[in-house]
Protein backbone atom coordinates (compact mmCIF):
# COMPACT_ATOMS: atom_id res chain seq x y z
CA UNK A 1 0.00 0.00 0.00
CA UNK A 2 0.88 3.65 -0.24
CA UNK A 3 0.59 5.89 2.82
CA UNK A 4 0.20 9.62 3.40
CA UNK A 5 2.94 10.95 5.68
CA UNK A 6 3.84 13.97 7.80
CA UNK A 7 4.16 16.62 5.14
CA UNK A 8 0.49 16.46 4.19
CA UNK A 9 -0.35 17.98 7.58
CA UNK A 10 -1.44 21.64 7.33
CA UNK A 11 -1.04 21.53 3.53
CA UNK A 12 -3.72 19.09 2.31
CA UNK A 13 -3.43 19.95 -1.36
CA UNK A 14 -5.88 17.13 -2.30
CA UNK A 15 -4.51 16.64 -5.85
CA UNK A 16 -4.10 13.00 -4.83
CA UNK A 17 -7.83 12.25 -4.61
CA UNK A 18 -8.43 13.19 -8.24
CA UNK A 19 -6.15 10.49 -9.63
CA UNK A 20 -6.89 7.55 -7.33
CA UNK A 21 -8.76 4.87 -9.35
CA UNK A 22 -10.31 3.33 -6.24
CA UNK A 23 -11.15 6.51 -4.27
CA UNK A 24 -9.37 5.38 -1.12
CA UNK A 25 -8.48 8.75 0.45
CA UNK A 26 -10.08 9.83 3.74
CA UNK A 27 -10.10 13.34 5.12
CA UNK A 28 -9.19 14.71 8.52
CA UNK A 29 -9.13 18.36 9.47
CA UNK A 30 -5.45 18.86 8.62
CA UNK A 31 -4.49 15.86 6.47
CA UNK A 32 -5.67 12.94 4.38
CA UNK A 33 -4.92 9.24 4.81
CA UNK A 34 -5.10 6.23 2.48
CA UNK A 35 -7.10 3.12 3.37
CA UNK A 36 -4.45 0.39 3.14
CA UNK A 37 -6.98 -2.37 2.41
CA UNK A 38 -8.47 -0.42 -0.49
CA UNK A 39 -5.27 0.91 -2.10
CA UNK A 40 -4.30 -1.21 -5.12
CA UNK A 41 -0.69 0.02 -5.15
CA UNK A 42 -0.96 1.67 -8.56
CA UNK A 43 1.38 4.49 -7.52
CA UNK A 44 -0.26 7.24 -9.57
CA UNK A 45 -0.91 9.46 -6.55
CA UNK A 46 2.72 9.63 -5.44
CA UNK A 47 3.99 12.12 -8.07
CA UNK A 48 0.76 14.17 -7.92
CA UNK A 49 1.33 15.40 -4.36
CA UNK A 50 2.92 18.88 -4.40
CA UNK A 51 4.14 18.29 -0.84
CA UNK A 52 5.73 14.90 -1.66
CA UNK A 53 3.81 13.38 1.24
CA UNK A 54 2.78 10.06 -0.33
CA UNK A 55 5.16 7.09 -0.07
CA UNK A 56 5.05 3.33 -0.62
CA UNK A 57 5.00 1.64 2.79
CA UNK A 58 7.95 -0.45 1.66
CA UNK A 59 10.20 2.55 2.38
CA UNK A 60 11.95 2.19 5.73
CA UNK A 61 10.62 3.95 8.82
CA UNK A 62 6.99 4.23 7.74
CA UNK A 63 5.46 1.80 10.28
CA UNK A 64 4.07 4.68 12.29
CA UNK A 65 2.39 6.12 9.20
CA UNK A 66 0.95 2.79 8.16
CA UNK A 67 -0.69 2.56 11.58
CA UNK A 68 -2.03 6.10 11.36
CA UNK A 69 -3.39 5.62 7.84
CA UNK A 70 -5.05 2.35 8.88
CA UNK A 71 -6.64 3.77 12.01
CA UNK A 72 -7.97 7.04 10.59
CA UNK A 73 -9.15 5.68 7.23
CA UNK A 74 -11.87 3.90 9.17
CA UNK A 75 -12.82 7.02 11.16
CA UNK A 76 -12.64 9.87 8.66
CA UNK A 77 -14.97 10.50 5.68
CA UNK A 78 -14.05 9.62 2.11
CA UNK A 79 -12.84 12.46 -0.14
CA UNK A 80 -12.94 12.01 -3.91
CA UNK A 81 -13.08 15.53 -5.35
CA UNK A 82 -10.25 18.04 -5.11
CA UNK A 83 -10.81 21.10 -2.95
CA UNK A 84 -8.63 24.14 -2.21
CA UNK A 85 -5.50 23.46 -0.19
CA UNK A 86 -5.39 24.83 3.35
CA UNK A 87 -4.69 28.59 3.38
CA UNK A 88 -1.44 27.97 5.27
CA UNK A 89 -0.27 25.22 2.89
CA UNK A 90 2.76 27.03 1.44
CA UNK A 91 3.94 28.22 4.83
CA UNK A 92 3.76 24.70 6.29
CA UNK A 93 5.26 22.77 3.36
CA UNK A 94 8.42 21.14 4.70
CA UNK A 95 8.03 22.23 8.33
CA UNK A 96 9.35 19.60 10.77
CA UNK A 97 7.36 18.11 13.63
CA UNK A 98 3.91 18.80 12.23
CA UNK A 99 2.57 15.49 13.52
CA UNK A 100 3.30 16.34 17.15
CA UNK A 101 1.68 19.77 16.89
CA UNK A 102 -0.99 19.68 14.24
CA UNK A 103 -2.16 16.15 13.46
CA UNK A 104 -5.95 16.11 13.20
FE1 LIG B 1 -5.03 5.28 -4.88
FE2 LIG B 1 -3.14 4.17 -6.40
FE3 LIG B 1 -2.48 6.02 -4.60
FE4 LIG B 1 -3.25 3.61 -3.80
S5 LIG B 1 -1.38 4.08 -4.96
S6 LIG B 1 -3.91 5.55 -2.96
S7 LIG B 1 -4.79 3.10 -5.34
S8 LIG B 1 -3.76 6.32 -6.42
FE1 LIG C 1 -1.92 15.67 1.23
FE2 LIG C 1 -0.48 15.67 -0.92
FE3 LIG C 1 -2.87 14.70 -1.03
S4 LIG C 1 -0.56 17.29 0.59
S5 LIG C 1 -3.96 15.91 0.45
S6 LIG C 1 -1.22 13.89 0.17
S7 LIG C 1 -1.89 15.91 -2.58
Residue 11 to residues 14, 15, 71, 78, 84: CA-CA distances in angstroms? 9, 11, 20, 18, 10
Q: Is the ipTM here above 0.90?
A: yes
Q: What local confidence, expressed as pLDDT, does residue 100 receive?
A: 97
Among protein residues, the one with the nearest Cα to ligand 1's atom 4 is 39
Domains of the chain by range and CATH? 2-81 (3.30.70.20)
pLDDT tens-place string over residues 18-75: 999 999 999 999 999 999 999 999 999 999 999 999 999 999 999 999 999 999 999 9
Is residue 7 very low, low, confident or very high in pLDDT (cuts 50, 70, 90)? very high
Give residues (CB < 6 A) around ligand 1.
2, 19-22, 24, 34, 39-45
SS3 68: helix
12 touches ligand 2 (CB under 6 Å)? yes
Index of the ligand 2 atom closest to the CA of residue 89 = 4
Amino acid sequence: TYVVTDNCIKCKYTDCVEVCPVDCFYEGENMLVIHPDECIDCGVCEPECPADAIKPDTEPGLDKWLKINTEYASKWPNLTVKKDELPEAKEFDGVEGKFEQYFS
